[in-house]
Amino acid sequence: MPRNNKATEETDKLTRIAIVNSDKCKPKRCRQECKKSCPVVRMGKLCIEVTPNDKLAVISEELCIGCGICVKKCPFEAITIINLPSNLEKDTTHRYSQNSFKLHRLPIPRPGEVLGLVGTNGI
């Protein structure tokens, strides 16, 4: 049965990634339910990694399928799934860290060029 083209286009535009809140994630105080329940980890791939020295779980953006099971299993509610439009992968000016937000299409400072003017309150 053919798929609806409009529905296909919308699913192609969205990318789902898992974000770990560093303030809430406490891998030393839980039994790593997120890792144990992840279907990608169960298939033998290292999607969620929690090492003894880490202060939080690290979820691979490339391997995560965005199913949301880890969100339900985390006892500290430290994981959320967000939808990202895939077209924002272009023109990335700065990225703060893995599974963190990016800045897009910002002006890049060049020597001898003015990016904008700052008023008296911004000095």
pLDDT in tens, 107-121: 777 888 876 766 666
In the chain, where the domains are located: 14-109
Q: Return the DSSP state at 27.
A: T
pTM over 0.95: no
In the chain the beta strands, taken as DSSP E runs, fall at 14-20, 48-49, 58-59, 79-85, 92-95, 102-104
CATH fold of 14-109 reads: Alpha-Beta Plaits (3.30.70)
Task: Write out pLDDT tens, residues 24-67.
Answer: 999 888 888 999 999 999 999 999 998 777 778 999 988 999 99
Give the per-residue pLDDT at 76. 95
